[in-house]
Amino acid sequence: MRIGVVAPARRVDEEQMARTQGYAALTYPTLDLVVHPQCFLDVGHFAGTDEQRAAAFLEFANDPGFDAIWFARGGYGSNRILDTVMPQLNRAAAAKSYLGFSDMGFLLGALYARRIGRPVHGPMAAQVGKAGGTNSAARALAWLVNRDRTMLAPELDGRPTVAFNLVILCALIGTPWLPDLTDHVVIVEEVGEDLYRIDRLLWQLSEATQLKGIAGIRLGAVTDRHPDDTGFGETEEQIAAKWARAMGVPYLGRAHVGHYADNMVVPFGVA
């Protein structure tokens, strides 16, 4: 099996990817994990210019020699290449899995909207060596290489499901890249946002006509909140349940999804 690693948003360093390749070689000796040199480019905030990031993604996605694309990391930037890359994906791109989360939700959502490949929300390549990150990345590899169903979020119930960072999902509303999520369970997670921002984002979801037909909402992890964020008056779960009711859909509870070590795998659609 051959998996390509690209970085459509922020860069990673060579030491990070060396750890990931070393771990993959020890765990899956027949796996060829190829890291695109673009991952190491440094152009301000980004892993290369928009043009360089788009070109690297297209090179690997359109190459029939790769079985899957594993995104290196998140950050910000994958939305800036959507208009360039989506019209240029070929038949080989449609045969691949694409795995990542956070900012990569822009690409996962756009791929799912166009029914290209198999988008999967899950841990990314640069997490190897971080606190709890090696176990997270191991789950991603176990799914990509062996389709190991024990890596799936245990809350998946057989219904079509997607998982998004909440900010990313809100940003997709009103764009051509938001997939039709009718009858889907929607899992949302967030990092570094105070409760009033979580409330505002979930209000936006509740008002979005494009999401009126969803089957329900699950809340993933809400991590790295400000330590003084205690005076809002509602918990994160109360907020999620309130806006689910406003949408007229059930709040289905928590999910093992998010910016933390227990982040599990969620294939878009039916696992």
β strands within 122-268, DSSP E? 161-165, 185-191, 216-223, 251-254, 266-267
Which regions in the chain score pLDDT beneath 70? none
Please indicate whether residue 259 is annotated as part of the active site: yes
Give the contacts of 141 (CB within 8 A, at least 6 positions apart).
24, 27, 28, 31, 70
Count CB atoms within 10 A of the CB of residue 72: 28
Task: Name the nearest CA neighbour of 115 among 154, 86, 144.
Answer: 86
Instruction: From the candidates 121, 155, 189, 190, give the one annotated as an active-site residue.
Output: 189
Q: What is the pLDDT of residue 133?
A: 85
Q: What is the pLDDT of residue 47?
A: 98
Please indicate whether residue 189 is annotated as part of the active site: yes
**Dihedral angle sign, alpha carbons of residues 96, 97, 103, 106:** positive
The distance from CA 150 to its chain's CA centroid, rounded to whole angstroms, is 19
Please indicate whether residue 78 is annotated as part of the active site: no
- Quick one: which H or E segment has residue 71? strand 68-71
Q: What is the pLDDT of residue 131?
A: 80
Instruction: From the candidates 97, 102, 136, 206, give the one annotated as an active-site residue.
Output: 102
**What is the C-alpha R_g of the chain?**
18
Give the global pTM.
0.96
* Residue 134: C-alpha distances to residues 71, 160, 190, 206, 262 (Å): 15, 28, 21, 36, 11
User: For the segment 65-115, what is each residue's pLDDT rounded down to a tens digit?
Assistant: 999 999 999 999 999 999 999 999 999 999 999 999 999 999 999 999 999
- Please identify which residue in the block is written with the tokens 């788009």: 54
Cβ–Cβ < 8 Å for 128, 20: yes
How far is Cα 243 from Cα 227, in angstroms, rounded to an integer? 24
